[in-house]
Structure 1
Amino acid sequence: MEMLTSDALDRARSFVLRSGRRLERARFAHLVDGGSLEDVAGELTAFQVEGGGFGRALESDARTPAASVLATLTALDILRMHGAPGDHPLSAGACAWLVQHAQTNAADQVVWPFLPQEAQVAPHAPWWDQSEPGQLAETFNGFLANPGLAITAHLWRYAAAAPQQAADVGVDAVLLSPLAAQARAIADSGVAAEEVNAHDAAAHLVGEPAVPDAVRGELLAYLTEVLPQRIMRTEADFTTYGIHPLWVAPSPTHPLARVVGPQIEIALDHVIGTQQADGSWQPFWDWGGWFPQEWEVAAREWQGSLVVRNIAALKAWGRVGKPDADSAASP
Structure 2
Amino acid sequence: MRSLTEDALAAAGRYLWLNARLIDRLRFEALFGDGCRERVLQALRAYRNPDGGFGHALEPDLRGAGSQPEPVEVAFWILDGLDAFDDPMVTGACDYLMSVTAEDGGVPFVLPSVRQTPRAPWWETPDDPPGSLVPTASIAALLHKHGIDHPWLAPATAFTWSAIEETVELQPYHTRAVVHFLEHVPDRDRADHQFARLREAILATVCLDPYAPGDAHFPLDFAPVPGRLPLFEAETLDRHLDALIDQQSPDGGWAPNFLMWTPLVAHEWGGFLTVGRLETLRAYGRLTS
Q: Which has the larger radius of gyration?
A: 1
Is 1:121 matched with 2:116? yes
The residue number in structure 2 matching 1:4 is: 4
Q: Which of 127, 132, 135 is the equivalent residue of 1:144?
A: 132
Give deviations 1:265-285, integer Å, cap 9, x for gaps: 222122111111110111101
The residue number in structure 2 matching 1:54 is: 54
The residue type paired with residue 245 of structure 1 is P
The residue type paired with residue 32 of structure 1 is F
Contact 1:95-1:155 within 8 A present in 2 as well:
no
Q: TM-score, normalised by structure 2?
A: 0.89
The residue number in structure 2 matching 1:13 is: 13
Is 1:110 matched with 2:105? yes
Is 1:286 matched with 2:263? no
Contact 1:283-1:306 within 8 A present in 2 as well:
yes
Give deviations 1:264-312, integer Å, cap 9, x for gaps: 222212211111111011110114xx5xxxx110111111011101000
Q: TM-score, normalised by structure 1?
A: 0.79
Contact 1:184-1:219 within 8 A present in 2 as well:
no
Give deviations 1:17-71, integer Å, cap 9, x for gaps: 2221110011111221143222221110110112211000000111111111111
The residue number in structure 1 matching 2:65 is: 65
Contact 2:168-2:201 within 8 A present in 1 as well:
no
Give deviations 1:88-120, integer Å, cap 9, x for gaps: 21112111211222111xxxx212123332322
**1:155 CA drift (Å):** 4.3
The residue number in structure 1 matching 2:179 is: 203
| In 2, Cα distance between equivalents of 1:122 and 1:266 | 41
Is 1:212 matched with 2:187? yes
Give the 3 Å change call, closer, same or farther, for CA 29–71 of structure 1 in structure 2.
same
| In 1, Cα distance between equivalents of 2:237 and 2:25 | 27
Contact 1:227-1:260 within 8 A present in 2 as well:
no
Is 1:244 matched with 2:218? yes
| In 2, Cα distance between equivalents of 1:81 and 1:50 | 24
| In 2, Cα distance between equivalents of 1:84 and 1:196 | 28
The residue type paired with residue 88 of structure 2 is P
Deviates more, 1:178-187 or 1:6-15: 178-187
| In 2, Cα distance between equivalents of 1:71 and 1:275 | 26
Q: Structure 1: 5+ residue runs without aligned partners?
A: 323-331
Give deviations 1:233-270, integer Å, cap 9, x for gaps: 01453x22233311221222x12365353332222122
Give the 3 Å change call, closer, same or farther, for CA 219–247 of structure 1 in structure 2.
farther
Give the 3 Å change call, closer, same or farther, for CA 80–38 of structure 1 in structure 2.
same
The residue number in structure 2 matching 1:89 is: 88
| In 2, Cα distance between equivalents of 1:53 and 1:123 | 18
Contact 1:251-1:317 within 8 A present in 2 as well:
yes
The residue type paired with residue 300 of structure 1 is H
Q: Which of 188, 205, 217 is the equivalent residue of 1:230?
A: 205
The share of aligned pairs that are identical, in percent, is: 28
**1:148 CA drift (Å):** 2.1
The residue number in structure 2 matching 1:100 is: 99
The residue number in structure 2 matching 1:327 is: none
Q: Structure 2: 5+ residue runs without aligned partners?
A: none
The residue type paired with residue 134 of structure 2 is N
The residue type paired with residue 111 of structure 1 is G
**1:215 CA drift (Å):** 4.2
Give deviations 1:177-207, integer Å, cap 9, x for gaps: x4444333333332534x2111111122123
The residue number in structure 2 matching 1:265 is: 238
The residue number in structure 2 matching 1:314 is: 281
| In 2, Cα distance between equivalents of 1:215 and 1:282 | 37
The residue number in structure 2 matching 1:325 is: none
